[in-house]
Amino acid sequence: MIKFIAITLAATFGLAVAVSAADTKPVATLPPPSTNTNVTYATDIKPIFDANCLKCHTGDKKPKANLALDSLAGVLKGSKDGKVVIPGDSAKSVLVLAVAHVGNPDGFMPKGKDAKPLTADQVGLIRAWIDQGAK
């Protein structure tokens, strides 16, 4: 509610763009997919998840959101809310929006007080992997 009032007030004073830009980013701001070919979960993606996500998303430890990222099968199965990866369409994949910090800030990943956002290169590699079929 307070946020709504703030945005409304800001709009009145012509600051709406600045306020909403700080809040959410449009899909157009996703880092581009990497141009690497033959990107696979095992060689390229698992190391990123191992370092940044497994604290909370490991299959044998009751993963957060019921999403296990420590196996390809777990990633493809998705979370309690459904698929997080759409093979062939990285820009629509919930997992990509989460790590690129696009959309709802509550879903931004990784979480936690010492969480470090993924780099644009890492997000681009994840995008290439999904666009190439999430193998």
Binding interface with ligand HEC (CB under 6 A): 52-53, 55-57, 64-65, 67, 69, 79, 81, 84, 94-95, 98-99, 106-107, 109-112, 115, 118
Residue 79 forms beta bridges with which residues?
82
Nearest approach, Cβ of 58 to ligand HEC (angstroms)? Answer: 10
Tell me the two tokens of residue 38.
């033959």
Residue type, 94: V
Which of 10, 71 has the CB closer to ligand HEC? 71
| CB of 48 closer than 8 Å to CB of 125 | yes
Give the separation between CA 108 and CA 68, rounded to whole angstroms. 17
Nearest approach, Cβ of 88 to ligand HEC (angstroms)? Answer: 17
Which of 81, 121 has the CB closer to ligand HEC? 81
Distance of CA 105 to the CA centre of its chain: 10
